[in-house]
Structure 1
């Protein structure tokens, strides 16, 4: 049913149009009549008509002004303009508002019916198209969802043969380089199984929770069984595969926070097994089995939230407590400082913690050491230290021998860092000082100086302070104040000129910095030195 509003300052004209409309066209209703533009705007806001017959020439707010205001409120309302003034200017104004129908007074029944029929057909066509598009979108969404579940089901059964990550990336819009499986386990407390409604609610909660916590991957949620839901994580090119554990752990911990916030731990048990990432879609079945093995071992414990798989048949635990990561952090910091004694002490603590790891064997130990050495290698690269040698750990080595090889490698790394700090770093810092001496009057920053000497800003700042006993900013300030003092000896230069010439943009700030450095304001200093 289309709603019609009739606007005209002549009551007989309004009644005539209303009579013609209701008697000549089906499925329309006149929702109101307005004598002027102001009332028309109010009635349009109240009734939201589909079509308005709008007289142009009316007292107060005329038809053109009313059209403009109503269009701001609802751009979908259609207008049929009615006027005794057959002038181009009026027609042009309403055409600019998107009005296509224009009939003249006195209007014949045929003109009114024909115009209304054209507009009504246009509205019906657009509505039908919108409904078809909405239906198509909903069907497509359901089809994609079903296809995703079917694809996950296929890969779990190792039947994926004809789709690659490139093809999947084209489907979801983005370049996919790897993927891994996560197996979510949900078990009700106090009874054997979930009811169908409970299972549906948990599944919906999981879908919404993953949307909230997963930021760096595309995910495909597989079909649910009685207690398990497989999740496929598709990693984009910008997400390094080496960091998949960090991202996966963040996902699980994010879900766990939602779990606890909503008090769901009172109703069900929540645990997660995680498989390794693979670069080919055909290998994702391995990741699923790894996740299943991890979950199987996890369910034998009572105090763990999740487990990472090392390889099929073996599981390596990534500690959730901060102790393990703190030791790694302290170890990297000590290597960065070139502190041999501290490195050896921390490494012994690292080894002792590994020795307490459940299921410790050669493969687990080799995996742990490989990850540590990758971190060390990346840190050295960030510092600009070229040290490509890595420890050679054979599968035939025993655990004790691997520990010794690791210690020997760390010792060689620290000695190399010491040599770099004493030679190469010394030259880099001198280069930085020279850079400051030349550019002190520019908008010099820590980042620009660090980039100039090809060091990370963080490490450059730390190295600079260790070497010279002051921060980068303090040194720049010292150089600027030194040059300010020299320029103050020239009485022809104003303090404002000197301020700008040494890199400061605010004379008041320059004055405060100068006094803090020298104990005197620039004016006082100039009086003392010049006189």
Structure 2
């Protein structure tokens, strides 16, 4: 049911209009009456009617003045002016105030009915649009935490796909050019600490979001194993060193609050400020490297401090690339040698074991992302389970060699699948005018590569394979269908020239089609 406010200084006009509408549209409206402009403003604010019929000429506050007040307070309410005066000036001013329609006294029933139906249709459409908008907002509010989790995990696990990241960032209204990562690592040194963390980790996650998001406008990742990451935008115009000090202050604040509120020891690692999504992923890797349960100098450490104090980079990019190249070439021996040399160099730097483990996790996440070898979260969990240098080395190398086996198997499966599709395509089309280029295009390979793969897998080149299928089919037709002439068989198996068919048949079978029939008594 809708509500309608009728504002007119004449009671008979109000009651007559109500009676007319009630008869035309029974059980549709609840009516309110106002005898002047002041009362109309009060009723509009108190009752919030769906529609208002307003007389222009009333004592005290005039109709248009009342419309102006109502439009300022409830601009969404449609107002219809009722007047006995067809004045252009009224119409012009009313339009400026947002008046929807005009009715001239005495209003005709058909005119009133049509107007009300129009207003109801518009109200229904507006209500439908509003409900859809609210549903969309509700769905979006549920999706936003998922989008934030997805974005943070893609950065943490090196799943950097520019389009997906940009779309997720758009959903979250993020427009960053620079930023850095902060990793919170909760202690696992004793079983008691680990059990305590497991009991309160959901509360910790919610608390970190409440502490950080309003001020830092950051992305908060889900807890992965015993670590949680923040991705923080770098405010434009702020000096890098100032930002570095602020990040360290925030890290110390979070560490203190986690200890005081939850009794859980916490170490914080902070990466350097970098540009773009890939840069944020690299900053996360830096934060992982310096974030440990047993830091030598501080429980909160910035990657730049570590680099400045050590005087050298922890992992030259060219070593990453050489190891990755060996992995992609499926060279187990070279990959193992390069990894072991890299690992030996790290051990000689006399790093604490958590630092060493952070370096290994960082390297394998990079390799895992590039070769798409598996689940990054499971990889981090597995590597975090090693508590000494020897088992960490063996476990990491085992992962790398397993990836090489997996890449080989995947390559073999892909080749087998491609060949199976090609052979099925040939089996369906060999009786037609079929070319190798058509088959290569069907399996989405270049003709040169397809030719090499086909010969390697079947032992025949493409044309010889098709010829063999055609000749074998011709032999079957000769045996099954003695009434078919050789010319008809020639056309049936895909040849257009009987003479050419005869030459090909002789080359393949060692005799002409006629001789073959005579020899086999067919």
TM score, norm. by length of structure 2: 0.49
Larger Rg over CA atoms: 2
| Structure with greater proportional helix content | 2
